[in-house]
Structure 1
């Protein structure tokens, strides 16, 4: 019950934020950040070795995180190429990488659309080879 009170009061969120502030940022090169983001995307694919990327942009955020937006194509279960789908991948300041692929997970469709419109929908970032 005490845990529920802490979550409801915001004490839990304050504790998580304090822990995040104590976690030292990684001092990665842009190449290492790029590799971590690419790995996060390919981990979501059925056949990672067949991944083809296009229209990829790199966006630096003021909080130290880096985001990549673009399109990925890979082989599906039948061995054919599935067609290009939008993706977004991010690496936070502590080196944790995550990715979402449009249509990859049904529960994330609304979240993906909102995030894409906010960060990737407008022409922003630096074009990169992924």
Structure 2
């Protein structure tokens, strides 16, 4: 699916599909095919392996971004993170919302367009 965000200085997700996400920064769009954390302030990190491999260290890396809220895109279906994984975010007083990756992409764009300090952590699964 292709998305057409309003003009913004924040990184936006311009499209997504099984195993990929398009990220635009004003100078063009980049197609990313690995799990990734995208922050509205322009930071981008490679992230985690499979859902089964996630742990507190993966969420600690996101906490370092100092955002208000994290949107966790758990893949093609909703899978909630274990409470122990979220301890670094709770300690940093960062909120988290979990949804499937497609919904996470759309929600991230809305919050980034509003000027919120937000990050999206995406598990990108092939069909």
TM-score, normalization by structure 1:
0.25
Q: Which has the higher strand share?
A: 2
- Larger relative contact order, structure 1 or 2 (CA cutoff 8 Å, min sep 6): 2
